[in-house]
Structure 1
């Protein structure tokens, strides 16, 4: 039901050894080595772990993140899910330079992405074709003699962007590169990569595929919201992703529907596809996850209680499902509740409902939790028949969604 997600991270510094960025690296275990069998899967896993599982704030802070990108992903709209102001796309040295690729790189730059050439050892015809489109050139010190390094830097004298020396292992290499005018540095002399990890509930592949199917068929937002309610972990993902958009609009999110509107259907579709790539899902059969079902059941009970008890308060109903789901968020993501809730772009009253049981939604949450434990008395003022009906309807709804 759970799996541990790993992410490598190596600092990139300037000439004063001040941190300017991190390179984000694929890791499949706590062992600090990369075992990559599929470039697309590796990159999508890095994106998922950095921007969903761990969160961009924890991984990057206010620094840039370098991500290796293969030719397949460079040409794919999946890259549009990334915040262009936080990411540098590294063009692997294996990428074939073609007119369509050059046009795509120009498009990515137009969208605001920074581009870097990885592992440069000479300016052959392909590297020269890429040079006007990139912002950063990464020079591979290991593959170059001192004479070759001096010649390469001289050849790049008119390049207006940043030169970055990678695989800097000694103080002598650092001082030489700095004397040659190289501005940024990466290597074991400064820091070896570290491995970040987080343990989270596995997503329901069935729910993800159902959501993707709805997106492809242009289902309306209400249908999307209903499908998302069967994948509480994906709802949490949307909440995390919408934090960037909510900062720009200064608009907190109060419901699943609002998160859909804030992010937009195109971005949700791409994130759904990326998550399926990252988990290299091949099994399309329903895989029931008891924890995710409990989160969905809580949310549905909250929603039905809001409809029954506060029929004149659509705002309560709209937020009720999210509060029920968030009441299990610490278990879903294996992190302290207060930390997770504080990182989400939701209104203060909703945070107080989850953390302190305050306001109308906090009261409905207490009622919902009492239905799960026969030893806990139901709060006074609620009709037992209504509570039984609501609980039965919620369980039927969850079972029906799986069927």
Structure 2
């Protein structure tokens, strides 16, 4: 994955934008859906690298697709370290406004990415903490106009794609709060040894999670059945996300601390991640069909029902 620092006016690192990086060297397909890219970034940040290694004391910015913003794919982390970026291609609808308002209520910091101002977007801008303006997408006059209008909303402004000293100095004079671009720092590719995901093990874990009669021992057994899954769960629970006072080295403990709902969210993301270059819609279809099979098994009196999920 990649990261690019965002600097404040004193050129101290305020945050890193976390970026999806793909291709043969990364072992990931070059062309994926936005949902898949976001999922890979979140999984890598929390279960492969760890926020301590990626961010240090800074915060992280993650691009969110419409489905993540609307809650169709739940966010399995709290608001302390991650800034949520609303992508420029997400339609601004009443449903989106309500979803962003709820995320803001939950304590998340909201940023609008590559934003171009429109008066009809005022309800969304009022909910934002940060607005990022792309210098390549706006003329010098348009940039100054955007700064003047957006400053009235009390948001912090990020100048994106700052390529030269002249651009940096001009953005300083306009009153930008933060700066990002090749002039200051190119994106850095970070890598680590990654255990391959066993798709069958992940699907089996999802089946156990969907079995209402399964207890924590059953969940721990399903996780321990595959080394890559157990490694990611332990990596997650010991990350800065949970700020525990001691190291958790038992999957049973991790299951109890994570809880069933949060564990199900991470398992669903892991399943999406393991789909290679298949469209993310296939995962939704697969999960729908699996649940249908489980319900049909219950209706027909077939046992064990959970086996029909997989």
Say if 2:171 is the partner of 1:174: no
Deviation at 1:82, TM superposition (A): 2.5
Say if 2:68 is the partner of 1:93: no
CA distance in 2, matches of 1:79, 1:58: 24
1:54–1:89 Cα change, 3 Å = same
Matches within 5 A, 1:41-52: 41-52=36-47
Q: Which digits, 9 at most, give the CA deviation of each residue in 1:213-244, with x for residues without a partner? A: 11112221111011111122211211121124
Task: Pick the aligned partner of 2:101 from 106, 110, 121.
Answer: 106
Task: Pick the aligned partner of 1:275 from 246, 254, 270.
Answer: 270
Residue 184 of structure 1 corresponds to 178
1:36–1:109 Cα change, 3 Å = farther
Q: Which digits, 9 at most, give the CA deviation of each residue in 1:1-50, with x for residues without a partner? A: xxxxxx0111100111111111111111359xx94431111111111111
* RMSD (CA atoms): 2.3
Deviation at 1:203, TM superposition (A): 1.5
Say if 2:26 is the partner of 1:26: no
Structure 1 residues without counterparts, runs of 5 or longer: 1-6, 285-403
CA distance in 1, matches of 2:6, 2:241: 29
1:244–1:54 Cα change, 3 Å = closer
Residue 12 of structure 1 corresponds to 6
Q: Which digits, 9 at most, give the CA deviation of each residue in 1:300-358, with x for residues without a partner? A: xxxxxxxxxxxxxxxxxxxxxxxxxxxxxxxxxxxxxxxxxxxxxxxxxxxxxxxxxxx
1:19–1:249 Cα change, 3 Å = closer
Matches within 5 A, 1:216-255: 216-218=210-212, 219-244=214-239, 248-255=243-250
CA distance in 1, matches of 2:178, 2:51: 22
SS in 1 for 2:124: helix
1:233–1:142 Cα change, 3 Å = same
Alpha carbons 2:61, 2:85 under 8 Å: kept: yes
Structure 2 residues without counterparts, runs of 5 or longer: 284-310
Deviation at 1:267, TM superposition (A): 0.9
Deviation at 1:252, TM superposition (A): 3.7
Please identify which structure carries the higher helix content. Answer: 1
Higher relative contact order (CA 8 A, sep 6+): 2
Larger Rg: 1
SS in 1 for 2:136: helix
Residue 296 of structure 1 corresponds to none
**Structure 1: 4+ residue segments shifted above 6 A:** none
Matches within 5 A, 1:178-217: 178-217=172-211
Deviation at 1:185, TM superposition (A): 0.6
- For normalisation by structure 1, the TM-score amounts to 0.64
CA distance in 2, matches of 1:93, 1:146: 20
CA distance in 2, matches of 1:180, 1:199: 44
Say if 2:255 is the partner of 1:260: yes
CA distance in 2, matches of 1:58, 1:246: 13
CA distance in 2, matches of 1:100, 1:10: 31
Residue 161 of structure 1 corresponds to 155
Alpha carbons 1:36, 1:42 under 8 Å: kept: no
